[in-house]
Amino acid sequence: SWKQYETVVRLHIKPALGKLKLDRVTALHVQTLYREKLDSGLSARRVIYIHVTLHKALKQAVRWSLIPRNVVDAAEPPKATKKEINPLDEEQVRRLMEAVRGNRLEALYVLAVNTGMRQGELLGLQWKDVDLDSGTLRVNRTIFGGVVSPPKTAKSRRSIKLSRAALAALKIHEKTSEWVFSTGSGKPINCTNLIKQSWRPLLKEAGLPHKRFHDLRHTCATLLLTKGVHPKVVQELLGHSSISITLDTYSHVLPNMQEKAVAAMDEIFE
């Protein structure tokens, strides 16, 4: 979307190339940008998105005869690799929940594990999206880089039935703003600040190894699949655009599911 392009330009492209005149930008400048972003910890997929955004911008500049050629064609973006899934196991989840109990963001972490919502979806949640009486919530927006945007895909805009734990956590969560999870001034929580000021200290307090916040989403899916929940249900809960994404992402769980299927068949024929 336009907002996502604007965010990429503002956070990544402009700081690196903004002081250069358009006709002075070279493929080496672009390649250096990619390398610096990878070295800073940005994922290959994010850098590829920077590449796509910059390529489209310079392609338009060529059309307008502002530059003779698109130098991004000569730059090589990183290859996207399949992300390693690193979910928490049940014991680690228990330790995390114990550590966060009583924390002002307890409900955020309970929701993350129970619903598999993306970080941006959680931070973009408003009280008008939550129905405590019916025990449901709607994913209507996401926040990334301080920009409020529609959900990632059409399937991402979804209704989620809340577990008892998630519903209870939301009921006792303090309402101080239209945003369910907000700063002291009532504004949405910044993604980076959440990681630095809340997530990492929480992991340390719980005595857990390094995990990404996104691993809570993987934790939700992995626990549900290993408990025998149908992949189609997990797909709808996570907001994946197709079930093939769910099956491909969580293929590590499938052998365990096959063992359960064999055991069930053995019971039938005993």
> Which CATH number do you get for residue 205?
1.10.443.10
Cα–Cα distance measured from residue 235 to residue 30, given in angstroms and rounded to the nearest whole number: 37
- pLDDT tens, 126-184? 999 999 999 999 999 999 777 888 887 889 999 999 999 999 999 999 999 999 999 99
pLDDT of 1? 58
Asked whether residue 162 falls in the same domain as residue 227, the answer is yes
In this structure, is residue 121 part of a structural domain?
Answer: yes
The per-residue pLDDT of the chain, averaged, comes to: 92
- pLDDT tens, 44-89? 888 999 999 999 999 999 999 999 999 999 999 998 776 678 999 9
In this structure, is residue 264 part of a structural domain?
Answer: no
Total domains in the chain come to 2
Burial code of 142-161, b = ≥16 C-beta within 10 A, e = fewer? bbbbebebebbeeebbbebe
Asked whether residue 122 falls in the same domain as residue 188, the answer is yes
Look at residues 74, 104, 120 and tell me which one is the last residue of a structural domain.
Answer: 74
Which carries the bigger pLDDT value, residue 40 or residue 228? 228
% of the chain with per-residue pLDDT over 70: 98
Range of the domain at 156: 90-255
Max CA pair span of the chain: 77
pLDDT of 106? 98
Q: Whole-model pTM above 0.85?
A: no
pLDDT band at 43 (very low <50, low <70, confident <90, very high): confident
Asked whether residue 234 falls in the same domain as residue 101, the answer is yes
Q: Are 132 and 108 in contact (CB under 8 A)?
A: no
Asked whether residue 191 falls in the same domain as residue 63, the answer is no
Within the chain, how many helices (H) and strands (E) appear? 14, 5
pLDDT of 139? 98
Look at residues 74, 102, 127 and tell me which one is the last residue of a structural domain.
Answer: 74
Asked whether residue 98 falls in the same domain as residue 62, the answer is no
Which carries the bigger pLDDT value, residue 1 or residue 28? 28
pLDDT of 254? 72
Non-local (6+) Cβ contacts of 72 within 8 A are 27, 30, 51, 54, 55, 58
Asked whether residue 107 falls in the same domain as residue 237, the answer is yes
Residue range 172-198: mean pLDDT, rounded:
94
In this structure, is residue 68 part of a structural domain?
Answer: yes
pLDDT of 40? 76
Look at residues 74, 102, 118 and tell me which one is the last residue of a structural domain.
Answer: 74
Asked whether residue 44 falls in the same domain as residue 112, the answer is no
Asked whether residue 67 falls in the same domain as residue 95, the answer is no
Where residue 70 sits, what CATH number does that domain have?
A: 1.10.150.130
pLDDT of 146? 78
Asked whether residue 244 falls in the same domain as residue 177, the answer is yes
Asked whether residue 118 falls in the same domain as residue 28, the answer is no
- φ and ψ at residue 136, rounded to 5 degrees: -135, 160
- pLDDT tens, 90-112? 999 999 999 999 999 999 999 99
